[in-house]
A and B are shown apart, each in its own frame.
Chain A
Amino acid sequence: MALVTAKGVEVRVGNKRLLHDVDLRIEAGEIVTVIGPNGAGKSTLLKAIIGAVPIGSGRIDKRAGLKIGYTPQKIQLEKTMPISVGRFLSLAGSFSKGARSEVLDKTDVIRLRDAQMTDLSGGEFQRVLLARALLRKPDLLILDEPTQGLDQPAEARFYRLLAEVRKETGAAVLMVSHDLHVVMAQSDQVVCLNGHVCCSGAPAQVSVDPSYKELFGVRAELALYEHNHDHSHDHSHDHGEHSHD
C-alpha cells in the first residue's frame, strides 16, 4: 500500500482557494519532488499532508502507523528565543540522549550540540532540522524547501547528506524544491504544482510536458540539460568530497 494517497484535495484559507483537485501518491522508498512557481501551494500541500492545514474537500489517506519526519520551511526562531541545538532536539519528545547524539552525528552537526540555534548558518540549520526529523525513524521525510537560502556548495552538501540518509534508512522523501537540476536528477516522481497538479510523473516524462515548459520556461530547458550532465558525472560527484565542513 502507498504511504500517502491524496485524492481531489482542496484547501481554502479565508476566501482564497490555495489548492484544488490535487491527486498524489507516495510509494515506500521513493523520492517525490514538488515544483512550481511561488504561491503555487507547494508548502500548503505539505502542510495538508501532515495535518497542519485542514482540507476543504477530497481526502488524504496515510498508511496505518506511518511515521513522518517533517522539516518546516522556516522556524520562528527570532533572536528572542535562546535555545541550543541540543535542547531543540530534546523538544522532539522522549528520545534518549544516545538517539539524539546519533542523529546529530548522522547529519554531521554533533559538534554544534551546545551552539545556539540563532548562531547557525543556513546549511547547519537545515541539518539540525533534518536531525530532528530523523529522530522518529520516519518512513517518510517531508522537507519544505530544505535548500532555500543556501549557497551552491551548502546546497550540494545537503543533497549528498539526504542521499546518504536515504541509503541508510530507506525512507521515502516528499520535498519542495526550486533546484530543478537536482530535481530532475534525483527524483523518482516530479509533481508540477500551480494551484492544481499541472503534470506529474517520472522526471523524463514531466520535462517534456508542455505545461512544465510553460511554467518554467528557459529554466526548464537548462534543467534538462543539467539533468543529462549530472548523470554522466554522477560517480565523481558521490565520492571524495565528504569531510569538507
Chain B
Amino acid sequence: MIDDFLVRALIAGVVIALAAAPLGCLIVWRRMAYFGDATGHAGLLGVALGLAFGLPMMVGVVVLAAAMAFMVSYATRRGDYGVDTVLGVFAHSALAIGLVAAALLPGVRLNLTETLLGDILSVSWSDIALIAVGSAGIVAVMAWRWRTLLNGTLSPELLVAEGGSLMRDRLTFTLTLALFVALAMNLVGVLLITAMLILPAASARPMARSPEQMVAIAAGIGIVAVGAGLQFSWITDAPAGPSIVVMSSIAFILSNFWKLLRN
C-alpha cells in the first residue's frame, strides 16, 4: 500500500509539472534560464517579508517575484551591462538578501533546508487545492495567449508589426512565471525551481517537431521525473525535490543520447 503523503506528493508534483511545461519551453526558447533563477530567488525574500508582515506566503512571493521580473527586464533593456551579468547580479543578490532578511526580520523563522530545497512530502490537501487552481490558471493563460507568446519569442518587432502588444506579452509571461514560483516553492524550493522549468523542456527538444509537441513531451517527461524521483526518494531516503530534478537530468542525457544515435 502506498502511503497517503506519497500520493499527495505525486499529485502535487504532476500538477506542477503540467504548469511547468509551457512556461519552461518559453524560458528555454527565450534564453531566459537565469531570469527564472532571479525570479525564483526573489521568492525567498517574498517569504521572509510575507512572514514579517503577517501576510499569506503566496502573496509575498507573487509580489516579490513579479517585482523582480520587472526590475530585471528594465535593467537588461538599459544595456549598461551584459544581460548575463545583470541577471547574475539580481539572482544572487535576491538570494542573499532573502537569507539575510530571514535571519534578521523579527518573527521570521525559516527552515532553511526546506525553503531552499522544498518539502514536497509534507504537502497537504489544501496546498494541493491551491496548487491545482494556480496551475490550471497558468495553463489556461498560456493556452489563451499562446500565439502571441510564440510570436513574442520569435520576434518582438514582428509581434508589434502584426498588431500585437509587447507590453501584454511581457506581462503575461512575467506574471505567470511569478505565480509558478509561488506555487512550486514549497515543493522543490527556490534553488531548484528553474530546474523544474527548463530540464523537462530542454529534454523534450530533440524529440519535438513543433512548439506544441515540445510542450507536450516536456509535460510527459516532467510527470515521469516526478514519479521516478519520488520513488527513488522513498527507496533511498534521499531528499525528494533534488531526486525529481536528478530524474529530469537523466531524461536530458537520454534524449540527447537518442538524438546522437539517430543522426
Q: How many residues of B contact A (CB 8 A)?
A: 29
Question: Is A50 in contact with chain B by the CB < 8 A criterion?
Answer: yes
Which chain A residue lies CB-closest to B206? A82
Are A93 and B162 closer than 8 Å at their CB atoms?
A: yes
- Within the complex, the shortest CB–CB distance from B36 to chain A, in Å, comes to 15
- CB-CB < 8 A to A50: which residues of B? 157, 160-161
Name the one of B28, B80, B154, B156 contacting A77, with C-beta atoms under 8 angstroms.
B154
- Identify which of residues 17-32 in chain B touch chain A, using a CB-to-CB cut-off of 8 Å: 28-31
Q: How far is the CA of A87 from the CA of B146 in the complex (A)?
A: 13
Are A81 and B157 closer than 8 Å at their CB atoms?
A: no
Are B29 and A80 closer than 8 Å at their CB atoms?
A: yes
Given contacts A13-B79, A76-B153, contact A82 B208 (CB under 8 A): yes
Interface string of B53-92 (1 = CB under 8 A from A): 0000000000000000000000001111000000000000
Are B29 and A14 closer than 8 Å at their CB atoms?
A: no
Question: Is A116 in contact with chain B by the CB < 8 A criterion?
Answer: yes
Given contacts A13-B79, A72-B155, A84-B209, contact A78 B160 (CB under 8 A): no
Given contacts A72-B158, A82-B211, A84-B209, contact A91 B79 (CB under 8 A): no
Which chain A residue lies CB-closest to B28? A80
- CB-CB < 8 A to A88: which residues of B? 154
- CB-CB < 8 A to A68: which residues of B? 161
Are A52 and B154 closer than 8 Å at their CB atoms?
A: no
- Within the complex, the shortest CB–CB distance from A60 to chain B, in Å, comes to 13
- Within the complex, the shortest CB–CB distance from B218 to chain A, in Å, comes to 12
- CB-CB < 8 A to B154: which residues of A? 75-77, 81, 88, 91
Q: How far is the CA of A80 from the CA of B173 in the complex (A)?
A: 18
Which chain A residue lies CB-closest to B201? A80
- Within the complex, the shortest CB–CB distance from A158 to chain B, in Å, comes to 18
Name the one of B78, B160, B209 contacting A116, with C-beta atoms under 8 angstroms.
B209
Name the one of B162, B213, B214 contacting A92, with C-beta atoms under 8 angstroms.
B162
Q: How far is the CA of A72 from the CA of B77 in the complex (A)?
A: 19
Which chain A residue lies CB-closest to B31? A78
Chain A: number of interface residues, binned into ranges: 20 to 34
- CB-CB < 8 A to A212: which residues of B? none
Question: Is B147 in contact with chain A by the CB < 8 A criterion?
Answer: yes
Name the one of A75, A78, A81, A116 contacting B158, with C-beta atoms under 8 angstroms.
A75
- Within the complex, the shortest CB–CB distance from A11 to chain B, in Å, comes to 14
Are A82 and B158 closer than 8 Å at their CB atoms?
A: no
Question: Is B233 in contact with chain A by the CB < 8 A criterion?
Answer: no
Question: Is A173 in contact with chain B by the CB < 8 A criterion?
Answer: no
- Identify which of residues 141-200 in chain A touch chain B, using a CB-to-CB cut-off of 8 Å: 142, 144
Which chain B residue lies CB-closest to A77? B154
Which chain B residue lies CB-closest to A116? B209
Question: Is A51 in contact with chain B by the CB < 8 A criterion?
Answer: yes
Question: Is A222 in contact with chain B by the CB < 8 A criterion?
Answer: no
Which chain A residue lies CB-closest to B207? A82
Are B210 and A82 closer than 8 Å at their CB atoms?
A: yes
Q: How far is the CA of A50 from the CA of B208 in the complex (A)?
A: 33
Which chain A residue lies CB-closest to B148? A91
Given contacts A14-B79, A82-B213, A83-B211, contact A142 B161 (CB under 8 A): yes
Given contacts A14-B78, A91-B147, A91-B151, contact A82 B162 (CB under 8 A): no
Q: How far is the CA of A92 from the CA of B148 in the complex (A)?
A: 9
- CB-CB < 8 A to A82: which residues of B? 205, 208-211, 213-214
Q: How far is the CA of A132 from the CA of B166 in the complex (A)?
A: 19
- Identify which of residues 43-75 in chain A touch chain B, using a CB-to-CB cut-off of 8 Å: 47, 50-52, 68-72, 74-75
- Within the complex, the shortest CB–CB distance from B160 to chain A, in Å, comes to 4
- CB-CB < 8 A to B150: which residues of A? 91
Extra inter-chain contacts (14) besides given A75-B154, A80-B202, CB under 8 Å: A13-B78, A50-B160, A52-B156, A52-B161, A68-B161, A70-B157, A72-B157, A80-B31, A81-B154, A82-B205, A83-B211, A84-B209, A142-B161, A144-B157
Q: Please list the 5 inter-chain residue pairs (A to B) with the smallest Cβ-Cβ separation, ordered nearest first.
A: A70-B161, A52-B160, A50-B161, A52-B157, A72-B155
Can you list 10 residue pairs at the A/B interface with Cβ under 8 Å? A51-B161, A80-B28, A80-B31, A81-B29, A81-B153, A81-B154, A82-B205, A91-B154, A93-B162, A142-B161
